Amino acid sequence: MASMESLLIHLSLAVLFLPLAGFTLLIFFGKRIPRQDLVETGLLFLALAISIYIMVQKVFFLGVPRIDMTFRWLDLGAVFGYPGFTIDLGIAIDNITAIMLVVVTLISSLVHLFSLGYMEGDVRYTRYYAYLGFFSFSMLGIVLSNNLLMMYAFWELVGISSYLLIGHWYEKKSASDAGKKAFIVNRVGDVGFFIGIMIVFTQLHTFLLTKVFGGIAAGHLSGPLLTAAGILIFCGAVGKSAQFPLHVWLPDAMEGPTPVSALIHAATMVAAGVYLVARVYPMLTAGALTVIAYIGAITAFLAATIAITQNDIKKVLAYSTVSQLGYMVMALGVGAFSAGFFHLVTHAAFKAGLFLGSGSVIYAMHHEQDMRKMGGLRKKMPITYWSFVIFSLSISGIPLTSGFLSKDNILAGSLAYGILTGNYLIPIIGYAVVFLTAAYMFRLIIMTFHGEPRDHHAYEHAKESPKVMTIPLIVLAALSIFVFYSFNPFNPDNGWFLRAVTQPASVVPPAQSYGFNQPVNLSVADSASAGASLAGASFVEQPAVPTAEYHEVMEEIHYPGLALSLTLALLGIFMAFFVYEWKKLDAEKLKQRVLPVYNCLYNKWYFDELYGATAIAGTIMLSKSLAWFDSHVIDGVVNGAASFTRLWSRLSGQFDHYVVDGLVNFSAWFTGFLGRGVRKVQNGKVQTYIVFALLGVIVIFYVFRQF
Amino acid sequence: MQYQFLGIGYLTWITFLPIVGMIVVLLIPRGNANSMKWTALAVTVLQLVVAGLIWMNFKPALTGINDPSGFQFIEKAKWIDLPGVAWFGHVSIDYFLGIDGLSLPMIVLTALISFVGVIASWNINKSQKGYFALYLLLDTGMMGVFVALDMFLFYVFWEIMLLPMYFLIGIWGGPRREYAAIKFFLYTLFGSVLILLVMLALYFSVSIKDPATGQMMHTFDMLAMMNPQNYDPNSLLGGIGTYWRYVAFIALFIGFAIKVPIFPFHTWLPDAHVEAPTAISVILAGVLLKMGTYGLLRISFPIFPDIMLKSAYPLAILGFINIVYGALCAMAQTDFKKMIAYSSISHMGVVLLGISALNSQGMAGGVFQMFNHGVVTAMLFLIVGVIYDRAHTRDMNSFGGLANQMPVYTGIMTVAFFAAIGLPGLNEFVSELFSYLGAFAAFRWVAIFSSIGIVLTAGYMLWALQRVFLGQLPDKWKGLPDINGRELVALVPLMVVVILLGVLPSIMLHPMNATLNHLVNFVHSVGAGMTAAK
């Protein structure tokens, strides 16, 4: 390994363990360290600096596509009938990893900074920073892992840190409920992920992604099992990235402190699902990708429709997150890999910004989250307001923003996919959600910042947040501008980002993959060498080569698609102004007219009620009835056996007393009775004896008369 | 012989040290409770030291199971040798001790849990003399089971452990202690009878050459019982896959299943746990349950490999039932201790699932899970004990918000709960992962259905955590003091083990590996060979 590569690997280990060091310090020596919060924040900024160095080196200077460090964790040897059980683990850095390192450490350090203001004077301030550190460690672990096992392990650790942070104010039942719900719903997805891993390991005997791809390329795992493995691994993403039907936990997770929502439930952890799909991308079959595309589209649509009816500022943003995650997942599903990952990165910046901005508002409003009680804050909080506007323009996909670049690519990809495969529903949903997104975002801005203040008391006290809170907003607002990703504000294709993030070629059998962006160049000879890689040499990922047909369609739809999405976004913004700013249309009347629909959306399509009535009630009923079965039937049999034995022993005791002993006593009595009877005969009178002797002789003669 | 101290082997020391302690305790005048406690503590600490010595001198490369040369720390002496006892013939029973990679983790676990149990017994205030004497006798019984290689000796230790347990629950237990103690005793005795019958059947079916006289004689040597050549062709258990071998396997299985406990023989467990004092619950869940699975691995698998190969699937299904049924029952409980008792049933199902897979990952996962569950569940029972000592209730619904009242306690509890949930970085994650991986390779659908348990475990554990530790603190618990030093001494070593083995599982997996692979190979090759020969 060249020295630079080795340096980068070691630096990335430092990035990984710095937050953990902070966690350990704070948990064990928290009370003895002055300003623990600054220690943890400083560590994160150090990690950010190192990450930026790694990314710049990796993306711009290093010629090697991927740096890998693998070690043998365990070797249990082979046994009869089963090949050897060895587990190799390790970390790897490619462009995607390097970019993710910066995204995670950047958002995390900004959130640390923001929390200095937001969480000041909190009951468990030190604990809060410790958990933030632990989360950052786990998240970086997912990013750096080069194998499924470590990913799964860090995946669970991320889940537990999310649980701990959602339940930060655990005195509130709603907070501890939300934490529990998040963890359990995620576990449902994780079980799928786990089964997927088991399929992969059982077939290919490795967790290392490169070897997994090599094994699949060599044909050791194919057919329905490969599709199943892909969908099951995606289940993990469905949980973490809050995709339909497991999206229900994310809005509840807003019970956590708002900076946590920004870090975990908007920018990083929820994006981990998308990251996971991106990592296993080469092994996904067309079948799996279609499922992924539809799940993403359904999620994007469902969540956007819910977001438009909510009144809690954080709930709107939460559903917006779900919807945008749906976009990313959909992008991966339709084969627009780079666009999906691009949106992950741009979304991390502007959504973290939106949450921190809402945190700034909530802080100013003394922990009021209901938008119906806000309004007019524009003048009081100019920095928050203007950054909020930039974030909203970005998420709505207005030109000159980062969101425009990434979202437009997703929409183009979905449209091309629709044209090439005939699945038109996906692009239709994709464009519909553009309208919804713009509408609910500007509804939020207008209700919060425009118009007249509705709660004058709170308004009087509201003021712009302190610098530690506004600086992160300014940084994130800056990062929501196109220039950081591409110098061309209308086409990012030649920007550094999309040149760095290339779609990996699929390794699934050609019959099982999308025809239009196939590697094609993976010949039989290549497959053979890929097979050899199972034995040792690393399989090298190749960039996908789209077909000429795909290129052609993309060219054709580029400008019409762009025009359509822009029109829809502007229409959405206009609608928001029309209803909420200019009040040309009464929102209340509109609501009354479509009341059933409104109620359905307002109640989140009744998913919570549905799950409550089926899965949860069913499990609880099953558990109660099994507990009853256990204590009454099974234990009843045991106790019954005991009672039966006791009854039997009592019966045999009676039998012993009355029958056995009775016989003994009877024979004694009978002997006595006989004795008493016979005694009378023996009275000492000779004449009696003679009479008896005579009688005896007669009897004898009678008996023996025949002889 | 190597590995001796004062001319007595390490294994004898570790097994009979508690008996020495028991005699000392019995000689201490009544009323001097402190000396009794300290004696018991000293003995268990010494035992832990011997366990450490054994651990350090253990050679991981050696195999064991059926191979006498693969065993370590062997001690063998004639124990009972009667030239001719009527029709019974020449009776020869050996004092035969030895360990391999299967018994090593169990020995360390027993020593560790016994030590922790003494600390947890510190505030026993009812006839301490009897308590500590019986406790130490129990300790010897448990240790003996894990070191005995002669089946008769194994059985003796198995029974020795039963009686003190009966009294410890029946005298020092909770309100329904007599019911629980009798239930435990009779249930286990029922299993013992089955084991005894199979043992005698095996004895009369196996003949080896007496090394002294050269004559053929029956033997209780487990290793001899594992060799198909030693079976008399016309004996009851001779032959391959015969009716009587199935009967014997099932009888033996029921005997061990009661101890594990495997559904539907498990209902003694919740009662025994709820009524037993904290330390005894810790021993019961920490060590006693492992005897069942240990018996399966040490006796059932290698002596009946032909039947075992045929029974792997049903065993895995029983493992699945244990996992899911135990978890669902745990979810319905409101008694903290009863919930943990049912969670034990669920977690022992993972052991069964892993070992029935008969491959190296499943076997390693199953045996590692035996150790890990011992440590984690001991922590959980200690945690319940801490709260019960203070509040005198175990009703989870009457608590809430203890996290603020008892922060250190809550921190330790969190580690134990998360370990039970199977969180990475803590020991049960690794053992469950391997068990599932092994089971998936052998029986895919059973593993898939069992993985429901992963969700259910998170459900009931987090629900319990929420009800007891989160939320608002009721006024009546405002005065509860946080965990004290003595309780920390019991919990912290276990917590260190939980974290250490979670991060570096190979510490434990490495010494087990050769033995367990040998066991898997042995069962497969002998079993398959026997079936083919038939």
**Worst-scoring range by mean pLDDT, A310-319, A413-422, A527-536?**
A527-536
Q: What is the pLDDT of residue B530?
A: 66
Q: What is the pLDDT of residue A553?
A: 86
- Whether pLDDT at A518 is above 70: no
Which of A170, A173, A639 best probes binding to B when mutated, by most B CB atoms within 10 angstroms?
A170
Q: How many CB atoms lie within 10 A of CB A10?
A: 11
Q: In terms of DSSP H, where are the helices of B333-426?
A: 336-356, 360-391, 402-405, 407-421
- Is residue A73 within 8 angstroms of chain B, CB to CB? yes
Q: What is the pLDDT of residue A43?
A: 92
Inspect the interface and report whether the beta carbons of B423 and A167 lie closer than 8 Å. Answer: no
Residue A686, class by beta-carbon neighbours within 10 Å (0-12 exposed, 13-18 middle, 19+ buried)?
exposed
Give pLDDT tens digits for A380-403.
889 999 999 999 999 999 989 999
CA distances from A541 to A69, A209, A336, A337, A545 (A): 16, 10, 17, 14, 12
Give pLDDT tens digits for B447-460.
999 999 999 999 99
**Residue B402: closest C-alpha in chain A:** A171
- Whether pLDDT at B267 is above 80: yes
Of B264, B403, B425, the CB nearest to A634: B264
- Whether pLDDT at A182 is above 90: yes
Q: What is the pLDDT of residue A85?
A: 86
Q: What is the pLDDT of residue A522?
A: 44
Give, in degrees to the nearest 5, the angle at Cα A592 between A586 and A593. Answer: 90
Inspect the interface and report whether the beta carbons of A78 and B329 lie closer than 8 Å. Answer: no
Alpha-carbon gap, residue A186 to A178, rounded angstroms: 12
Give pLDDT tens digits for A117-171.
888 888 888 889 999 999 999 999 999 999 999 999 999 999 999 999 999 999 8
Inspect the interface and report whether the beta carbons of A191 and B187 lie closer than 8 Å. Answer: no
- Whether pLDDT at B415 is above 90: yes
% of chain A at pLDDT higher than 70: 96
- Quote the minimal CA–CA distance from B53 to chain A in Å: 25
Residues of B numbered 462-521 whose beta carbons fall under 8 angstroms of chain A's beta carbons: which are they? 462-463, 466, 469-472, 505-506, 509, 513, 517, 520-521
**Worst-scoring range by mean pLDDT, A238-247, A287-296, B123-132, B459-468?**
B123-132
- Quote the minimal CA–CA distance from A31 to chain B in Å: 13
**Worst-scoring range by mean pLDDT, A7-11, A514-518, A646-650, A699-703?**
A514-518
Which residue range is the domain that position B94 belongs to?
A: 4-533
Q: What is the pLDDT of residue A218?
A: 85
The one-letter code for the residue type at A599 is N
Q: In terms of DSSP H, where are the helices of A30-87?
A: 36-56
**String of b and e for A60-76 (b: at least 16 CB within 10 Å)?**
eebeeebbbbbeebbbb
Of A76, A177, A201, the CB nearest to B513: A76
- Is residue B186 within 8 angstroms of chain A, CB to CB? yes
Ranges assigned E (strand) in A328-415: none
- Whether pLDDT at A525 is above 70: no
Q: How many CB atoms lie within 10 A of CB A271?
A: 30
- Quote the minimal CA–CA distance from A533 to chain B in Å: 23
- Quote the minimal CA–CA distance from B334 to chain A in Å: 11
- Whether pLDDT at A691 is above 70: yes
Counting Cα atoms < 13 Å in the Cβ hemisphere of B67 gives 15
Of A77, A163, A627, the CB nearest to B329: A627
**Residues A585 and A593 sit within 8 Å (Cβ to Cβ):** no
Q: Average per-residue pLDDT in chain B?
A: 90
The listed range with the strongest mean pLDDT (A98-107, B183-192, B520-529) is A98-107
Q: How many CB atoms lie within 10 A of CB A479?
A: 24
Return the higher-pLDDT residue of B167 and A550. Answer: B167
What SS3 class is residue B81?
strand
- Report the pLDDT averaged over residues B5-18: 87
Parallel/antiparallel/unpaired status of strands A67-75 and B8-9:
unpaired
Give chain A positions within 8 Å (CB) of B509.
74, 76
Confidence of residue A536 (pLDDT cuts 50, 70, 90): very low
- Whether pLDDT at B364 is above 90: yes
**Residue B438: closest C-alpha in chain A:** A202
**In this predicted complex, what is the ipTM?**
0.92
Q: What is the pLDDT of residue A10?
A: 92
Give chain B positions within 8 Å (CB) of A85.
359-361, 364
Ranges assigned E (strand) in B86-138: 89-99
Give pLDDT tens digits for A294-348.
999 999 999 999 999 998 999 999 999 999 999 999 999 998 899 999 999 999 9
Q: If DSSP states are collapsed to H, E and C, what string results for B259-279?
A: HCCCCCCCCHHHHHHHHCCHH
- Is residue A255 within 8 angstroms of chain B, CB to CB? no
- Report the pLDDT averaged over residues A206-233: 91
Q: How many CB atoms lie within 10 A of CB A147?
A: 25
Q: What is the pLDDT of residue B531?
A: 62
B89: which strand partners? B85
CA distances from A3 to A6, A8, A10, A51, A410 (A): 5, 9, 11, 18, 38
Q: What is the pLDDT of residue A64?
A: 84
Q: How many CB atoms lie within 10 A of CB A561?
A: 22
**Residue A191: closest C-alpha in chain B:** B451
Alpha-carbon gap, residue B110 to B125, rounded angstroms: 24
**Residue B338: closest C-alpha in chain A:** A627
The listed range with the strongest mean pLDDT (A35-44, A264-273, B340-349) is B340-349
The one-letter code for the residue type at B504 is L
Q: What is the pLDDT of residue A520?
A: 43
**Residues B468 and B334 sit within 8 Å (Cβ to Cβ):** no
The one-letter code for the residue type at A300 is A
CA distances from A648 to A638, A651, B184, B296, B325 (A): 15, 5, 21, 34, 33
Inspect the interface and report whether the beta carbons of B509 and A634 lie closer than 8 Å. Answer: no
Give pLDDT tens digits for B494-531.
999 999 999 999 899 999 999 999 999 899 888 777 66
- Quote the minimal CA–CA distance from B363 to chain A in Å: 10
Return the higher-pLDDT residue of A455 and A573. Answer: A573
Alpha-carbon gap, residue B256 to B276, rounded angstroms: 21
Alpha-carbon gap, residue B10 to B15, rounded angstroms: 9
Confidence of residue A534 (pLDDT cuts 50, 70, 90): very low
Return the higher-pLDDT residue of A515 and B513. Answer: B513
Q: What is the pLDDT of residue B475?
A: 85
Work out how many domains chain B is built from and give that number: 1
Counting Cα atoms < 13 Å in the Cβ hemisphere of A268 gives 34
